A and B are shown apart, each in its own frame.
Chain A
Amino acid sequence: MLHPEEEWRAHLAQGRFMIQRSRSTGRHVFHPRVAEPGTGAQDLDWVEASGQGWVHAVTVVRKKDPAESYNVVLVDLAEGPRLMSRVVDIAADTVRIGMAVRARIDILGDQPTLVFVPA
């Protein structure tokens, strides 16, 4: 059977942002699961995400030193699913809802982590 989180992280470590797609329904799934939510379809394949998306919602987590503040966003992927991430390479508080963004894999802490940059 699938090992959803483990396989996703293995792809990410190899520099690939993968999501799932059901062969029968054609819909994309994120976060990774053993079945598509709602339908229970288990015919899920890993497919490479386009990496295109748009900011759906945004907050700035404020630190005492303003330089350390960072944004946390929800991104709507071009394929449909929504996920949490950050928009980097831009001042934390200049991210706006509707902004087009592109996926990138950064090392955050010591883990490969999916982030986004302005498209």
Chain B
Amino acid sequence: MTHKHGFPRGKTAIVGAATFGIGRCPGVAAVDMAAQASLIALADAGLTLADVDAVYTSAPYEALGGMELVEYLGLQPKVTDCNRTGGSAFEVYAQQAALALDAGLIDCALIAYGSNPASVPPKAVGMTRPSPWEAPYQRWAPISSYALAASRHMHLYGTTREHLAEVAVAARRWAQLNPEAAVRDPLSIDDVLGARMVSDPLSVRDCCLFNDGAAAIVMVRADRARHCRKAPIAVLGAAHAVTHREISGMPDLTVTGAARSGAQAYAQAKVRPRDIDLVMLYDAFTITPILFLEDLGFCPKGEGGRFVADGAIAPGGRLAVNTSGGGLSCVHPGMYGLFLLVEAVRQLRGEAGERQIPDAHLALAHGNGGVLSSQATVVLGTAATV
């Protein structure tokens, strides 16, 4: 099968980026947090609400959250999108905003998200119906689905629990360099291996956080981006692939849609994996970065476990992965995708403080949704890469 890769490479840019309320954010509603993050991101760009004519948001507990945020902020947008591809929704939004901006349909896109399940526990998780084909077996959703994929990877490729633990420990070591990260106390391989098992082979330390957080980014066309407050970060490529809904429908448990979305995003951006300085991979569970490193071409299929061994993706390792501390140690309020983009922007701008990657020009942000179901890859670059 041949794929077209049409994308307006470098024609749009992220000009504002913000996080808000990471960790605990009590006493407010999710939409309050999304609105707060939006205002900080707009100020970061030197823009105002009056500039925004497109809103992309996935509210955690409100199916009609797009309209909710529009009303809250007093906007009259031409595009309002509230997609349901789980945590990957925000990488898809970056793609859709780039297309709409390049077409001239819109002039300024706001992508926002807020959620505080730690402070205000939701009455029901998400807005999804239990699968009649899986729910009777009382798999722990979504953990058991990722555990099944991990079991298959271990069986086929000799990946070990120690390899999985390396991902959690690397995330924690990055978090220790990020003052905003929610969990920063020391974590060892033995701590992860000895932690309470949840759904074999995953222990509680193989699972992401479930805490509070909000984020927002602002996108405009490249010509306008040059006049914004900070250095624009160009959107070079963005591609999306959906392969299934439930894990029993996944075509191959060890090959994700990232193999397709990544190849397309690289082709759009005209870069190769070895050109990338910084890799932000959705780490809902420790198996996911291992799968994505393989599918996105950073190592051969099956080698992800050995690739991350010996601190290779921790600070000072061979590849900078999830420099914020990721969903495992920084923030994961149900959907993590937007935080990947914000961290990539901060690194490319040189705003990442102690955890800054020197000479970072190209970043990849990869979102995951459902149970490895939806995969969306965005390639970002500094002005020098356009």
Interface set of A (CB-CB < 8 Å, partner B): 5, 31, 56-62, 70, 72-74, 82-86, 93, 97-98, 108-109, 111, 113
Question: Smallest CB-CB separation from A85: which chain B residue?
Answer: B137
A113 and B147 alpha carbons, distance in the complex (Å): 22
Q: Is the CB of B151 within 8 A of A58?
A: yes
A96 and B129 alpha carbons, distance in the complex (Å): 30
Count chain B CB atoms within 10 A of each CB in A57, A97, A109 and give the residue with the most.
A57
User: Which of A62, A74, A111 makes the CB contact (< 8 A) with B248?
Assistant: A74
- A59-B199, A113-B136 are known contacts; what are 16 more A-B pairs with Cβ within 8 Å? A31-B133, A31-B248, A57-B149, A60-B200, A61-B138, A61-B140, A61-B199, A62-B196, A62-B200, A73-B148, A83-B133, A97-B151, A97-B152, A98-B155, A108-B136, A109-B136
A5 and B130 alpha carbons, distance in the complex (Å): 14
Q: Is the CB of B151 within 8 A of A57?
A: yes
Q: Is the CB of B248 within 8 A of A82?
A: yes
B144 proximity list for chain A (CB < 8 A):
59, 61, 72
B132 proximity list for chain A (CB < 8 A):
5, 31
Q: Is the CB of A84 within 8 A of B139?
A: yes
Which 7 residue pairs are nearest across A and B when measured between Cβ atoms? A59-B147, A57-B148, A60-B200, A84-B248, A72-B139, A62-B197, A97-B155
CB distance from B144 to the nearest CB of A (A): 5
- Chain B 137-162 residues near chain A, CB threshold 8 A: 137-140, 144, 147-149, 151-152, 155
A93 proximity list for chain B (CB < 8 A):
200
A65 and B137 alpha carbons, distance in the complex (Å): 18
Interchain Cβ contacts under 8 Å between A and B, 13 examples: A31-B248, A58-B151, A59-B200, A61-B138, A62-B196, A72-B137, A72-B138, A72-B139, A72-B144, A72-B148, A82-B248, A84-B133, A98-B155
Interface size on B, residues (CB 8 A): 26
- The answer to the question of B271 belonging to the interface, with a C-beta cut-off of 8 Å to chain A, is no
- The answer to the question of B253 belonging to the interface, with a C-beta cut-off of 8 Å to chain A, is yes
CB distance from B157 to the nearest CB of A (A): 12
- Chain B 31-83 residues near chain A, CB threshold 8 A: none
A108 proximity list for chain B (CB < 8 A):
136
- Chain A interface, >50% SS class: strand
CB distance from B145 to the nearest CB of A (A): 9
Q: Is the CB of B253 within 8 A of A60?
A: no
A62 and B138 alpha carbons, distance in the complex (Å): 11
B201 proximity list for chain A (CB < 8 A):
59
Q: Is the CB of A61 within 8 A of B139?
A: yes
A85 proximity list for chain B (CB < 8 A):
137
Question: Smallest CB-CB separation from A32: which chain B residue?
Answer: B133
Question: Smallest CB-CB separation from B134: which chain A residue?
Answer: A84
B238 proximity list for chain A (CB < 8 A):
none
Q: Is the CB of B152 within 8 A of A57?
A: yes
A98 proximity list for chain B (CB < 8 A):
155
B151 proximity list for chain A (CB < 8 A):
57-59, 97
Question: Smallest CB-CB separation from A81: which chain B residue?
Answer: B248
A111 proximity list for chain B (CB < 8 A):
136
- The answer to the question of B247 belonging to the interface, with a C-beta cut-off of 8 Å to chain A, is yes
B198 proximity list for chain A (CB < 8 A):
61-62
User: Which of A31, A58, A60, A84 makes the CB contact (< 8 A) with B247?
Assistant: A84
